[in-house]
């Protein structure tokens, strides 16, 4: 658990984490919902944060989130809280699909409750212990470096496969 929360009573830590999960989910949902209309349909930015937002909302991550919400419905929203790396995609996907706000919020509550329960009890402790155990031994450090190299390699290979190979294909 973050150090600034250690002296707090459990109920306040839980409420703080639940509120943070709800606010984050709502923020990404509204970014997807509002910014999609503005950024993708009405603008053609060439630089800065507008271009980055445009690319993020029209990129593969957001499209995967859209596909997950289309395939699984609103069940994808609470389940996304139990994953790493899928939450933002699903929340943005729900916004892009213009899921009605009350339905999205009701779907979000169980996931945010589960996330807060996990991280106010064992979540941070397990994460910290795993990192400490891995970083405390030469084998653990080697595994961390190997995993990082594998991720970087996979991203590079994936991007090269998507890139057009000849000027005619561009």
Residue 42 in tokens: 């009405």
CA–CA separation, 119 and 13 (whole Å)? 9
CA–CA separation, 36 and 63 (whole Å)? 12
Q: Is residue 115 within 8 Å of 15, Cβ to Cβ?
A: no
Q: Is residue 138 within 8 Å of 44, Cβ to Cβ?
A: no
DSSP letter at 136 equals T
The position carrying tokens 């957001």 is 62
Report pLDDT for 35. 74
Q: Tell me the pTM.
A: 0.63
Residue spans of the domains in the chain: they are 3-122, 136-170
Residue 81 in tokens: 């809280």
Confidence tier at 163 by pLDDT (50, 70, 90): low
Over residues 54-101, the pLDDT tens digits come to 777 767 777 788 888 989 889 999 999 988 778 888 998 999 899 999
Over residues 115-134, the pLDDT tens digits come to 998 888 766 566 666 667 76
77 vs 40, residue with greater confidence:
77
Q: Is residue 63 within 8 Å of 38, Cβ to Cβ?
A: no
Degrees (nearest 5) of the Cα angle 122, 81, 112? Answer: 80
CA–CA separation, 87 and 138 (whole Å)? 33
């Amino acid at each position: 658990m973050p150090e600034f929360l250690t002296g707090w009573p459990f109920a306040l830590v839980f409420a703080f984490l639940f509120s943070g999960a709800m606010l984050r989910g709502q923020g990404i949902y509204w970014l997807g919902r509002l910014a999609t209309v503005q950024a993708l349909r009405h603008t053609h930015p060439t630089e800065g944060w507008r271009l980055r937002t445009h690319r993020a909302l029209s990129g593969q991550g957001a499209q995967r989130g859209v596909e997950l919400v289309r395939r699984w419905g609103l069940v994808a929203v609470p389940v996304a809280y139990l994953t790493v790396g899928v939450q933002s995609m699903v929340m943005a996907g729900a916004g892009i699909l213009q899921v009605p706000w009350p339905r999205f919020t009701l779907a979000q509550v169980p996931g945010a409750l589960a996330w807060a329960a996990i991280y106010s009890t064992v979540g941070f402790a397990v994460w910290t212990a795993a990192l400490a155990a891995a970083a405390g031994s030469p084998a653990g450090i080697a595994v961390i470096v190997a995993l990082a190299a594998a991720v970087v390699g996979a991203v590079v290979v994936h991007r090269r496969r998507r890139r057009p190979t000849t000027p005619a294909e561009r």
